[in-house]
Structure 1
Amino acid sequence: MAEQAAVVTDEALARAQDFIEEEEGAANRLAGWRAACLTVLAVGVSLFHLYAAYSIVPTQTLRPVHVAMVLVLTFLLFPIAKRYRHRIMWWDFAFALLSVAVVAYMLWGGEDFTDRNTSPLRWDIVFGVALVFLVLEAMRRTAGWVMPVVTTCFILYALLGAYLPSPWTHKGYEVGRLVGHLYMTLEGIFGVAVDVASSLIILFTIFGAFLQYSGAGKFYIDFSFSAMGGKPTGAGRTVVLASFLLGGPSGSGVATTVTLGSVAWPMLAKAGYERNAAGGLLAAGGLGAIISPPVLGAAAFLIAEFLKISYLDVLLMAVIPTLLFYLALFLMVEIDARKYDMGRTVFAQAVPLWQLTKRYWFHFLSLVSIIVFMMWGFSPVLSVFYATLVTLVTSFIRAECALVPREVFRGEGPILKKLWSSNLVKALEAGTTGVLGVAATCAGAGIIVGVVTLTGLGLKFSSIVIDLAGGSLLLTAIYTSLVVWIVGLAVPVTASYIICAVIAAPALIKLGVPDFAAHMFIFYYAVLSEVSPPTALSPFAASAITGGDPYKTTLQCWKYTVPAFLVPFMFVLDPSGQGLLLMGSTKALAKANWWAIAEVAATAALGVAALAAGFQGWALKRTNVIERSMLLVAGFALVYPSLISDVLGIGLVAGALALQYFRARPVAV
C-alpha cells in the first residue's frame, strides 16, 4: 500500500520537466521582441510545411530549406551551454546565418552543384564541412553529446577505413569525396531521414499541437477517468487507456508519462500502488504511446519510406502487436489489483462518461480522421494536412476549445492582438519547436546512413553477425535485438532505428526474413531503449513524480513491458508469425489465411498472458516456484512460432492453472 497520501509537488514536476528537456533539449525562455521574432519564425516554418503538404515543392528544395529552418531555430532557441540559457549570443546568430548560407549556396548551384559530387570544388568542401559541423552542434544542443560522438565515429570510419583491421577495413575516402556524398547528393544529410522529417514528422507534430491546444489532451485523460473509474482496477486501467489516447497529441513517450503522471499518481497511490510500481506503469504507458496507431513514433514514418510502402500499411502492421502490448498492460493491472489488495478501492466519477462524450465527441473525430483520409486514398502527407484542418474547424464547436477566439470573426476588440495570443498561433509555434530535436537527429542520422551506403558497412556487419550466429536465424535475431538495444542505450529511438535499419536489418533479410518483418523487429527493440538505463528517461521522469527510486522504477517498467517485447521474435522466426503483422500490406492481407492469422495471434496472446503471470508471480492466485517457472517457460515457448513449442506452451499453462486450482489455500496464520 502507498504509505502516505500522494501529492504531485511543483518540485516533482520540475524534476520531471528536466527529463523532458534531457530528451528534447533545454530551450531558451525569452521575452520581448526576441520571443516575438522567434514566434514569427516558428509559425512561418509551420505554415511553410503546411503549404508544402498541399502544394508542390520540389524535393531538391524542400529538404535543404527544411534543414536550414531547423538549424536556424535550433541555434536561436537552444543555448551553447547552460550558463548562456535564456539569451541569444552573437555566436548563435553566426551559426544561424552560416546555416542559411550553406543551404543558399547549395540551392544557388543548381544541377551543376549536384553533378560534381564526386569531384567537389574547394568552396563545396568548405560549405559541406560547415554543414556537417552545424548538424553535429545542433544535435548536441538538442539531445546531448552521445549522438554527435556516435556520428563522428562513423565519419572517422569512412575516412580511416584503410587503417582498420579486417573485416572492417575498406579503401577509405578523402574529405572531398565524403563531403560530396553527404552534402551534394540526396544520399547523405538530405536523404531519407530528412525527407521523412520534412514531409511527415513535422506535419504530425503540428497536428499533435493542434489537438493539444484545442483541449483534446485534457479530454482524453478525463474520458479515461470516466470510462475506467469506480472499479478496483480503475486506476491502472485509466493509465493504460489515457496513455493510448495521449500518444497522438504529445508525440513523446516522456511527455506522455509526465502529463499523465501529474494527474494519475495521486489516484494510483490511493488505489494502493507502491511508488516504484506506479512509476513503472506510468512509464510503460508512455512507451505504448510510441507504438500505438494512428500516429506511432517518428520511426514509423521512416519504415514506410525505407520499404517504399504506404503509411497505412505500417499502421496495419502495428495493430496486433499494439493490441498485445496493451493486453500485457491490462493483465498486469488486473494482477496488481489482487497483489496490492485494491478490491475495496472505489473512485467517484467526476463527470459521467456519456455527458463528457456528448460535450467533446469531436476530439475523437480529429484523431480518427487521419486513417479515414488514408483509406479514402489520400497520401499520408495530405491525410495529416486535412486532419489538421478538421481539428481546426471542429475546435469551434465549443467556445472553450476554439483555436481562434470567436470574437475575432465577429470583429470585436483588438483583432490582431487576440489573434496573436490565440491558441492557433501557439499550436503553430509548438508544432515547429516540438520537432527540432527529432529533425536535427534525422539530419545527423543522414550522415550515418551516407557513410554506411558509401562504405558498404551494412553488408559487412550483416556478414559478421551471420557468421557469429553460425547461420542460425534465432541467434541472428537475438544478436540483432542486442545490437539495437545497445545502440538504443546511447541514442534516441528515431536514430536507433535508422542506424540499425541500415546496419542490422540486412542480416535478417539475408536469412530469408521479409524486409517488413525485419524493420518492424528493429523498430520495436529501438522503442524498448526508451525504458533502458542509462537513458531510461520515461521511468526516470515517472520516478521524479512519484518519489520512487529511478532504477527500481525502471525495473518495474521492464516487468510491465517485457512480455510484449518478446512478441517481435514471432514475426521473424517463422513465416506463420508474419500473421501478427497482417502479412505486411493490404494487398497481402487480401490473400492471407485468416485462420492462420487468428491462430498465431491467439498463441501470442496466451504467451503474453503466461509471461505476465510469470513475471508478476500471480495467476489464479499467488504462484509458487514451480508454477511460476512453468508459466515463464510456457510464455517463451508460445512466443516461438512452431507446432511443438505451441503444444508445449499450452500444456504448461494448463498444468500450472490446474496446480493452482487444486492447490489447497494456505492456512491463515
Structure 2
Amino acid sequence: MDEKHVDDSVNTKSINEKLKSLDKESATVEYTGIWGKLIAALCICFSLFQIYTGFFGAFDAMIQRCVHLSFGISLVFLLCPTKKAWIRGGKVNPLDLGLAILAAIPPIYILVNYQSLILRAGTVTTTDFIIGLLGIVMVLEAARRIVGTSIVAVVILFLAYGYFGPYMPGPLAHRGLSLEQMVSHLFYTTEGVFGIPLGVSSTFIFLFILFGAYLEKTGLGKFFIDIANAIAGWASGGPAKVAVISSALQGTISGSSVANVVGSGSFTIPMMKKLGYKKDFAGAVEAAASTGGQLMPPIMGAAAFLMAEFVGVPYMEVVKAAVVPAILYFIGVFLGVHFEAKKENLVGTPRSKLPSARAIMHEEGHLAIPLLAIIGLLASGYTPMKAALGGIVISIATAMLRENTRMTFGDIVDGLIKGARGALGVLMACAAAGMIIGIVTKTGVGLKLASVLVGMANGNEIILLFCTMLTSLILGMGVPTTANYVITSTIAAPALIGLGVPILAAHMFVFYFGIIADITPPVALAAYAGAAISGGDPLKTGVNASKLGIAAFIVPYVFVLSPALLGIHASAGQVIMTTITALIGMVGISSAMIGYLYRRLNAIERLIIFAAGLCLIDPESFTDLVGIGVMIVLVAFQYFRSRKVNA
C-alpha cells in the first residue's frame, strides 16, 4: 500500500467510534487507574478459567455454565455502564458496581447450593424463586446493554406467551405456565438460561474467540490485506477485489460482520473511492464481503458451533458442509465487483506500486500457520476445545519466529483481556436465547408453529423455504445471529425437516439468512458501517450490498434442493458437477444484477441471462441444459458484438 492510502484511510479513533455506534458488542468502555487494572484482572481470570477447563476438561454442565455466566454478566455491568456520563476519572460508578455484584449472586447461589438443588429436583423454595427471578431479570438487562433491545423484546414475547398460554388463539393455545414454573424451568435446569447455547459458549465459542484475539495480535489481519493487495490490486477494480479477498480471509478469524467492515473497510473503502467507485457501491462491496466472513470456515460465526450441537454432528462436519456455499458466495461478490469495474472502466493499481507477494510471504507468511494448524487439528479428530487451545499455543509460538511479529508478555496478557471482552456479547446472547428454547420446549410451540408454517405453504417446499427466509431476515434485522439462529432453528427448521429436507441443510438454510440480514435493508448493520466510512447513503449501500450478495439469497435454495452441495449423501463427482453448474449460474445472475457482461446489457438481455442463471441454480439435468444453452448463445452474442464495437 502506498503512503496516500494511509492518509486516505479513516483514523483509528474514528474507526473505533463508528464501530461502537453500530455494534453494541464493541461499545464497552475503557477504565484507567486501579479500576482498569481490577477489570483487566477479572478478564484474565475469566480467560484462564476457560483455558484450564479446556486443557483438563469441563466441570459438570451446570457448574461450568454458572461460573461462565458469573464472570460474563459481572463484566457486562462493569464495561457497559448505565450512563457513560456517570464515569468520572476512570472510576466505576457505584450503581454499576452494585449491579455487577448483584448479577453474579444468582449463578453463585446455584454453585453454593448445587447438591441441595439437585435433591429438590425442580421443587423451588421461596428463596430459590426470588434468586431465580433476579437471575432472569439481570440476564435480560445485561443482554440489553451488550446486545441490544431487540433480543430482550423477543425473549419477553416468548415469556409472555408462556404465561398467557390459555388466552392464545387456535392451535397456539396451551394451559399456561405460572411464574414459579417458568423460574424453575428457565433458571434451575439446563433447558433455559443454562441451556445448550450457554453450554456451547462456555466451552467451544469462548476458546475460538480467544484464538481469534491472538491471531489478531499476531498481525494476521494486516497480512490478509497485504497478500490480497498483491494478488488482486493490479486487476480491474483492484481495491474492490482486494476488499473481497481480504474480507473472506479475515472472516476465518472474526465472527462479526460490522467489526470486519470497520476493520478492513477503513483501508479498502478509501482506496475504492479514489479509484472511481461511487460511495454507495464502495461501502456495499465491503459490507457484502465482510458479512460473508461469518460463512467462511474454519472459524465461522458463533451460531455454527450451536448448529453442530443442535444437529448432533461434529463441528468439522459443519465446516465441510459450509466450504462450497462459502466459495460460491464470495465468487458471486467477486463477479459483481468485476462486472462493475468493467462497466465503469475502472483500472487497478500499477504493479510497481504494489507489494510483492513473495516478499509478503517471506516476511509474514508464517502467521497463517495457526490457521492451517487448526484445520488440521479439527480434521484429525480433535475436539473443537482442544483444537482452539492448540491454535492459541501455535499462534503465540509462530509469532515468535520473526522479530517483527514477536509477542511480548504484555501482548500475551492483553490477548487474554481482549478474548474475555470479545466473548461477552455472544455469552449474553446465548444466555437470553436459552430462555427462548426453554419456553419452546415447555409449551411445545415449536411444533405448533412448524405445523402452521407447513399449512401456510400448503406443503409446497419452495413456498415454505421462502417463508422461512423472510422469518430469518426479519429476525436478523435486530436480533444477533446467534439468537436469530436459535429461534429459527427451533421453529422454522423443524418444518423444513418435516418436508424431507436433510437436518443439516435445514439448519444451514436458517443460519445463512440470519447472517445475510446484516446487508438486507432497512436494518442492515454491515451496510450502515460501510456507509459510515464511505460517506454514502445507508439505504442505497444496503441495496447495492444485497445485489452483490445475491449469491447468499440463492445458494441456500440450491443446497436444500440439492444437498450434494453440502456433501450430504453425495459422491465427489456429484459435488463437483453441482458446484460447476452453480458457478456458471452465478456468472449469469451477477452479470444481470450489474448489467454488464462483455458490454452493457439492455433490460431484455438482463432478464434472459438472469433466468438462465436461475436454471443452472436448479439442480436438474433439463434446467442445466437450458441454462447452459441460453448462456452460450448470449455470451457469444455479447463477445462478438463487443469485438465489433471495439474494432
TM-score category of the 2 structures, normalised to the smaller one: over 0.9
Give the distance between the partners of 1:8 and 1:400, measured in 2 at CA. Answer: 23
Give the distance between the partners of 2:71 and 2:172, measured in 1 at CA. Answer: 37
Whether the 8 Å CA contact 2:521–2:543 is kept in 1: the answer is no
Counterpart residue number, 2:80: 78
Counterpart residue number, 1:507: 495
Q: Which of 450, 456, 481 is matched with 2:444 structurally?
A: 456
Q: Does 1:187 align with 2:191?
A: yes
Structure-to-structure mapping, 1:157-306, within 5 angstroms: 157-306=161-310
Whether the 8 Å CA contact 1:13–1:544 is kept in 2: the answer is no
Whether the 8 Å CA contact 1:257–1:282 is kept in 2: the answer is yes
Structure-to-structure mapping, 1:25-44, within 5 angstroms: 25-44=26-45
What are the Cα deviations for residues 86-134 of structure 1, in whole angstroms up to 9, with x where unaligned? 6522222222222322112112222441454543111111111111101
Counterpart residue number, 2:566: 581
Give the distance between the partners of 1:191 and 1:572, measured in 2 at CA. Answer: 28
Structure 1 residues not aligned, in runs of 5+: 405-418
Structure 1 residues 639 and 667: alpha-carbon distance in aligned structure 2, compared to 1, 3 A threshold: closer
The letter of the residue matching 1:69 is F
What are the Cα deviations for residues 67-104 of structure 1, in whole angstroms up to 9, with x where unaligned? 11100100111112343356522222222222322112
Deviation at 1:223, TM superposition (A): 1.8
Whether the 8 Å CA contact 1:75–1:138 is kept in 2: the answer is yes
- 2:177 alignment partner, SS class: coil
Deviation at 1:221, TM superposition (A): 1.4
Structure-to-structure mapping, 1:375-524, within 5 angstroms: 375-404=379-408, 419=409, 422-524=410-512
Structure 1 residues 473 and 249: alpha-carbon distance in aligned structure 2, compared to 1, 3 A threshold: closer
Give the distance between the partners of 1:600 and 1:226, measured in 2 at CA. Answer: 31
The 10-residue stretch of structure 1 (627-636 or 66-75) with the greater mean CA deviation from structure 2: 627-636
Whether the 8 Å CA contact 1:188–1:446 is kept in 2: the answer is yes
Counterpart residue number, 2:367: 363
Give the distance between the partners of 1:277 and 1:554, measured in 2 at CA. Answer: 9
Q: Does 1:544 align with 2:544?
A: no
Q: Does 1:18 align with 2:20?
A: yes
The letter of the residue matching 1:65 is V
Give the distance between the partners of 1:345 and 1:655, measured in 2 at CA. Answer: 34
Give the distance between the partners of 2:564 and 2:188, measured in 1 at CA. Answer: 42
Structure-to-structure mapping, 1:94-113, within 5 angstroms: 94-113=98-117
Give the distance between the partners of 1:341 and 1:199, measured in 2 at CA. Answer: 50
Whether the 8 Å CA contact 1:208–1:251 is kept in 2: the answer is no
Structure 1 residues 515 and 43: alpha-carbon distance in aligned structure 2, compared to 1, 3 A threshold: same
Structure 1 residues 347 and 664: alpha-carbon distance in aligned structure 2, compared to 1, 3 A threshold: closer
Give the distance between the partners of 2:213 and 2:184, measured in 1 at CA. Answer: 37
Give the distance between the partners of 2:314 and 2:357, measured in 1 at CA. Answer: 36
Whether the 8 Å CA contact 2:285–2:548 is kept in 1: the answer is yes
The letter of the residue matching 1:181 is H
What are the Cα deviations for residues 423-472 of structure 1, in whole angstroms up to 9, with x where unaligned? 11111100000110111011000011111111111100110000011111
Structure 1 residues 78 and 397: alpha-carbon distance in aligned structure 2, compared to 1, 3 A threshold: same
Deviation at 1:354, TM superposition (A): 0.8
Deviation at 1:508, TM superposition (A): 0.2
Counterpart residue number, 1:413: none
The 10-residue stretch of structure 1 (266-275 or 137-146) with the greater mean CA deviation from structure 2: 266-275
Give the distance between the partners of 1:532 and 1:231, measured in 2 at CA. Answer: 29
Whether the 8 Å CA contact 1:64–1:190 is kept in 2: the answer is yes
Q: Which of 601, 626, 633 is matched with 1:655 structurally?
A: 633
Counterpart residue number, 2:54: 53
Whether the 8 Å CA contact 2:234–2:348 is kept in 1: the answer is no
The 10-residue stretch of structure 1 (189-198 or 241-250) with the greater mean CA deviation from structure 2: 241-250
Please give the root-mean-square deviation of Cα atoms over the aligned residues, in Å: 2.0
Give the distance between the partners of 1:57 and 1:183, measured in 2 at CA. Answer: 20
Structure 2 residues not aligned, in runs of 5+: none
Whether the 8 Å CA contact 1:128–1:179 is kept in 2: the answer is yes
Q: Which of 602, 618, 622 is matched with 1:644 structurally?
A: 622
Give the distance between the partners of 2:290 and 2:473, measured in 1 at CA. Answer: 18
Q: TM-score, normalised by structure 2?
A: 0.95
Deviation at 1:317, TM superposition (A): 0.3
Give the distance between the partners of 1:249 and 1:426, measured in 2 at CA. Answer: 17
Deviation at 1:15, TM superposition (A): 5.2
Deviation at 1:596, TM superposition (A): 2.0
Give the distance between the partners of 1:468 and 1:19, measured in 2 at CA. Answer: 39
Structure 1 residues 152 and 246: alpha-carbon distance in aligned structure 2, compared to 1, 3 A threshold: same
Structure 1 residues 659 and 314: alpha-carbon distance in aligned structure 2, compared to 1, 3 A threshold: same
Give the distance between the partners of 1:373 and 1:362, measured in 2 at CA. Answer: 17
The 10-residue stretch of structure 1 (382-391 or 86-95) with the greater mean CA deviation from structure 2: 86-95
The letter of the residue matching 2:69 is V
- 2:400 alignment partner, SS class: helix
The 10-residue stretch of structure 1 (106-115 or 177-186) with the greater mean CA deviation from structure 2: 106-115
- 1:397 alignment partner, SS class: coil
The letter of the residue matching 1:356 is I
Whether the 8 Å CA contact 1:140–1:148 is kept in 2: the answer is yes
Give the distance between the partners of 1:621 and 1:566, measured in 2 at CA. Answer: 25
Counterpart residue number, 2:586: 608
The letter of the residue matching 1:45 is F
Deviation at 1:579, TM superposition (A): 1.0
Structure 1 residues 609 and 17: alpha-carbon distance in aligned structure 2, compared to 1, 3 A threshold: same
Counterpart residue number, 2:596: 618
The letter of the residue matching 1:620 is Y
Structure 1 residues 286 and 489: alpha-carbon distance in aligned structure 2, compared to 1, 3 A threshold: same
Deviation at 1:167, TM superposition (A): 1.9
Structure 1 residues 135 and 340: alpha-carbon distance in aligned structure 2, compared to 1, 3 A threshold: same
Whether the 8 Å CA contact 1:28–1:87 is kept in 2: the answer is no
What are the Cα deviations for residues 159-188 of structure 1, in whole angstroms up to 9, with x where unaligned? 110111112111101111111111111111
Give the distance between the partners of 1:338 and 1:613, measured in 2 at CA. Answer: 11
What are the Cα deviations for residues 348-384 of structure 1, in whole angstroms up to 9, with x where unaligned? 4453211121122221101111111112221111001
Q: Which of 491, 514, 520 is matched with 1:526 structurally?
A: 514
The 10-residue stretch of structure 1 (496-505 or 9-18) with the greater mean CA deviation from structure 2: 9-18
The 10-residue stretch of structure 1 (604-613 or 225-234) with the greater mean CA deviation from structure 2: 225-234
Structure 1 residues 134 and 19: alpha-carbon distance in aligned structure 2, compared to 1, 3 A threshold: same
The letter of the residue matching 2:601 is T
Structure 1 residues 560 and 647: alpha-carbon distance in aligned structure 2, compared to 1, 3 A threshold: same
Q: Does 1:627 align with 2:605?
A: yes
- 2:113 alignment partner, SS class: helix
The letter of the residue matching 1:399 is E
Give the distance between the partners of 1:342 and 1:551, measured in 2 at CA. Answer: 24
The letter of the residue matching 1:396 is M
The letter of the residue matching 2:77 is F
Q: Which of 94, 107, 110 is matched with 1:90 structurally?
A: 94
Whether the 8 Å CA contact 2:63–2:111 is kept in 1: the answer is yes
Count of residues in Structure 1 that have an aligned counterpart in Structure 2? 638
Give the distance between the partners of 1:344 and 1:184, measured in 2 at CA. Answer: 60
Identity %: 34
The letter of the residue matching 1:445 is A
Counterpart residue number, 1:317: 321
Whether the 8 Å CA contact 2:337–2:548 is kept in 1: the answer is no
The 10-residue stretch of structure 1 (604-613 or 98-107) with the greater mean CA deviation from structure 2: 98-107
Whether the 8 Å CA contact 1:307–1:515 is kept in 2: the answer is yes
Structure 1 residues 364 and 9: alpha-carbon distance in aligned structure 2, compared to 1, 3 A threshold: closer
Whether the 8 Å CA contact 2:54–2:385 is kept in 1: the answer is yes
